[in-house]
Structure 1
């Protein structure tokens, strides 16, 4: 435990795996009390609960679909009951798919938008009364927001929307002492197998010649949540190894 987030209270959506899981665990190790959620009951959520118990502290792992306002309300109510308030809000819940634009159905466009962008609106608005002055809101976006992604117009648009949302909220909520920023990961390692030629192509496009790890993103998430970033707001920080 490095103490950077000692006594801080955090809500992290989409914490069951990948980047979200790493942020949850690193926040807990840094001294924060964390409430997090996953969309469905899963072994990943169960194992996360076990890991948080090993870390120690006051944490809650819940099931909540953040695309449904009533489930967001339940999530925020749990934060109020368990933590009493919030210093940190991380919207990490997200989904992705690859679909050629001519074949992109409205239902799939809306599914991606509802989770990646719509839920950021809902969670932030509902959690706002719990956020205290000096608090930090972090949206987990994507590097593709500014470079584009073939067969990913819907995903790219949703992540680009987070940038505009963050910049506007930074101006609106700044007088309340709240900071709002975007974390934009580049090509990342994942649990899914990747063909060697695809890996080589991605790595060749990164200055550091490797894919990112969840821990790379979590480290910057700790910075943005901590007092070290007390004068950082409205920014998008690319964590992409130099794409």
Structure 2
């Protein structure tokens, strides 16, 4: 029985990067609950992968977790190989991996900038290219970006610049792959509570809440629902967009 909160995705073959924590974890579970077969990639958190594998509905025969550093050629090749061997192709690619390390602009090193852009933008482009031979006609690619990429925020210049690059990525690639029926979109979350909570000083927390018209933070599941919607056939005529999920901030 599939999850009633998700569109029908029965039989779809999905790869979710950063798929064992936060929004990625919620997306992996929603896709699995909707009847998709899921490979959830992670870089190094074995405990998070184990927790996902222990979730009700995560059938080890239908779904897999895969340890791979997707910022490296070897890691991307491993992900492609797993999709080829376990799934036989890809109908849904969720580019959710990333890194977050805010720092004042004047203190940014070249390494800080390169690492942030690599993991939040370049790796998405490279992995999508790696998987291109496996993407089925009519497939959907969904990136997880960040709402602050449009608004900007002090201490986040490298992060917002990388995430803003996803808008150009989806607009151009959506046009290039559109003749095959492949759609490419981005979800841009606002401030989100994950299973690990949101550890912020009280003044910062209150300041953020006051800027959100709904007066609450989003949840990983709420963002994941939007990701899964864009991945599904329900969104079959949505292509090249960045959809904000931020409570109206």
TM-score when normalising by structure 1: 0.96
CA contact (8 A) 1:170 1:233 kept: yes
Residues 58-97 of structure 1 mapped to structure 2, 5 A cutoff: 58-97=62-101
C-alpha distance in 2, partners of 1:199/1:86? 39
C-alpha distance in 2, partners of 1:186/1:11? 23
C-alpha distance in 1, partners of 2:56/2:148? 32
**Is 1:124 aligned with 2:128?**
yes
| Matched residue, 1:242 | 248
The match for 2:141 among 122, 137, 141 is 137
Structure 1 residues 157-208: Cα deviation after superposition (integer angstroms, max 9, x where no partner): 0000111111110011101110000000011124242222221111111111
| Matched residue, 1:220 | 226
The match for 1:157 among 136, 161, 178 is 161
Which residues of structure 1 form unaligned runs of 5+?
Answer: none
RMSD: 1.4
**Is 1:203 aligned with 2:225?**
no
Assess, with a 3 A threshold, how the Cα gap between structure 1 residues 70 and 56 changes in structure 2: closer, same or farther: closer
C-alpha distance in 2, partners of 1:200/1:100? 22
C-alpha distance in 2, partners of 1:61/1:52? 15
Matched residue SS, 2:171 = helix
| Matched residue, 1:101 | 105
C-alpha distance in 1, partners of 2:88/2:59? 21
Which residues of structure 2 form unaligned runs of 5+?
Answer: none
Q: What is the deviation of 1:238? A: 0.2
CA contact (8 A) 2:52 2:58 kept: no
Structure 1 residue ranges, 4+ long, deviating more than 6 angstroms after superposition: none
Q: What is the deviation of 1:50? A: 1.8
Provide the aligned length of Structure 1 versus Structure 2: 243
CA contact (8 A) 2:33 2:57 kept: no
